[in-house]
Amino acid sequence: MVLPLEMGWRHLLFENWPVDAELLEAHLPDELSVDTHDGDAWLSVIPFTNVAVRPRGLPARAGIRLPEINVRTYVTRDGSDGAPAVYFFSLDADGIASVLGARFLHHLPYYYARISLEPASDHIRFESRRRHPGSRPGMYEATYRPTGESFEAPADPLARFLVERYRFYTEAPDGSLRYTDVDHEPWTLYPATATVERNTLLAANGFERPETEPIRYYSPGLDVVAATSQRCDGK
């Protein structure tokens, strides 16, 4: 059995576009339904870095750093407890062993990429270029920063919908649907601004870039425990 993981998520940009639910439905497993807020489905791109990734119980110094960027939407599962969850279309990360482990043990659609995340005094510089053999090319280059005052995500209805998610689903190679629960404190967010020079990750997942401007949040991060991956039928 794969052990639960502990890690930190740091320097996150949540870049979120409202889209028609029909745009996403064709990309989801049959058991999942698009979750909406005020009638809109949402498509998000999230660059950040994992820190101190290690099996639960080991000290933080034993963990590894893993810069990442993922493309995701928001779902519920038919016939389940209705818990709001995340579905990942892709996750690009800078670590061959970690990518292979996540694909094999957690059934997540990870892709190997060369990623640089550089914090400065007032901004974060993030660059990612996919290098995974046989995959569609995917690049993302941006500079982002927090603006304004911090706020607690649960107090804002849209922010709560987008970030207060404690489960993700994934489809295994055998076609089975699996889920993983995560545990962490509620998010503290800031309004954010970003200059995005290049983003081909949406196209790599079969989506056109939405015409609307995204809603952006920044978070300095929090610590997370991810449980083991489970089949939805309990097997």
**What are the pLDDT digits (tens) for 104-124?**
777 789 999 999 999 998 999
Q: How far apart are CA 78 and CA 92, in angstroms?
A: 28
What share of the chain has pLDDT > 70, as a percent?
97
What share of the chain has pLDDT > 90, as a percent?
80
**Domain residue ranges of the chain, discontinuous segments joined by +:** 5-227
Phi, psi at residue 204, to the nearest 5°? -65, -25
Positions of the chain with pLDDT under 50: 1, 235
> What CATH class does 5-227 carry?
mainly beta
pLDDT the model gives residue 80: 59
**Token pair for residue 17?**
């576009």
DSSP for 43-94, written as a single string:
EEEEEEEEEEEEETTS-GGG-EEEEEEEEEEEEEETTS----EEEEEEEEES
